[in-house]
Structure 1
Amino acid sequence: MSTPSVANNAYQMAAKLAQQAASPGDMPAGPESVDFGQMVQEAVESVVDKGRDMDSKSIGLIEGRTDVVDVVTAVAETEMALETMVSVRDRVISAYEEIMRMPI
């Protein structure tokens, strides 16, 4: 998978989320409408899958089955996914800290 396809996938996910946010009548009301835990689990699984893909391509390079460009692309995709996950984690922690500072 090339970097443009990763960007395209990210754009499609953002467009889907924007569409869901724009049409709230289609989604059920209440906290059960979005399962935050499931969303986080899927994101973590995606990062882990990218890491496994990178590992297999790295091993393929050592064995002479994979091209260097494929390995570099896999490393870049994994790095980008991990940086995104860390950024989201930082934002969640920041939001939690802000909620904890709110007066009751």
Structure 2
Amino acid sequence: MTDFSAIRSSYVEAAYAKTVQGETRGAKPAGPAPKDFAQMVGDAASQAVDSVREGDQMAIKGLTGQASLQEVVQATMAMEQTVQVSVALRDKLVEAYQEVMRMPV
């Protein structure tokens, strides 16, 4: 099982900070209306796919000598982190589904 405390992302931390600030001030966020859950999940999935593709492309560039070792390692680490989060999310969703199926009707 993946330990979520080990997975850090500047995007997640920034989103959390914005949420906490909005809750403490009691103000509604400025800008467009928030997305529904399906859109957020779809956007996250497309970003995950993009991250994996970028990692693959950077690995190919590294093998052909078009990218530095540091760039390849950074892209690979970002790709690995994305895959770990995706697998952990999948596991949680399957676990939640199984729990719902065990509920008496």
Shared topology, TM-score over 0.5?
yes
2:57 equivalent in structure 1: 56
1:78 equivalent in structure 2: 79
How many percent of aligned residue pairs carry the same amino acid? 31
Distance, in Å, in 2 between the alignment partners of 1:25 and 1:8 is 23
> RMSD of the TM alignment (CA)?
2.6
Quote the offset at 1:81 in angstroms. 0.8
Quote the offset at 1:18 in angstroms. 4.8
Quote the offset at 1:76 in angstroms. 0.8
- Post-superposition Cα deviations, 1:61-100, rounded to whole Å, max 9, x if no partner, equal 1222210111111111111111101111111111121122
Amino acid across the alignment from 2:92? R
Alignment of structure 1 residues 14-29 onto 2, 5 Å: 14-18=16-20, 22=23, 26=28
1:102 equivalent in structure 2: 103
Amino acid across the alignment from 1:12? A
Distance, in Å, in 1 between the alignment partners of 2:95 and 2:76 is 28
2:68 equivalent in structure 1: 67
Q: For residues 14 and 25 of structure 1, do their structure 2 counterparts lie closer, same or farther at Cα, with a shift above 3 Å needed?
A: closer
Q: TM-score, normalised by structure 1?
A: 0.70
Distance, in Å, in 2 between the alignment partners of 1:96 and 1:36 is 17
Stretches of structure 1 lacking an aligned partner (at least 5 in a row): 1-5, 28-32
Quote the offset at 1:25 in angstroms. 8.6
Quote the offset at 1:54 in angstroms. 1.1
2:5 equivalent in structure 1: none
**Aligned 8 A contact 2:48 2:82 in 1:** yes
Q: Which protein is richer in helix relative to its size? A: 1
Distance, in Å, in 2 between the alignment partners of 1:16 and 1:86 is 26
Aligned length: 93
Quote the offset at 1:17 in angstroms. 4.7
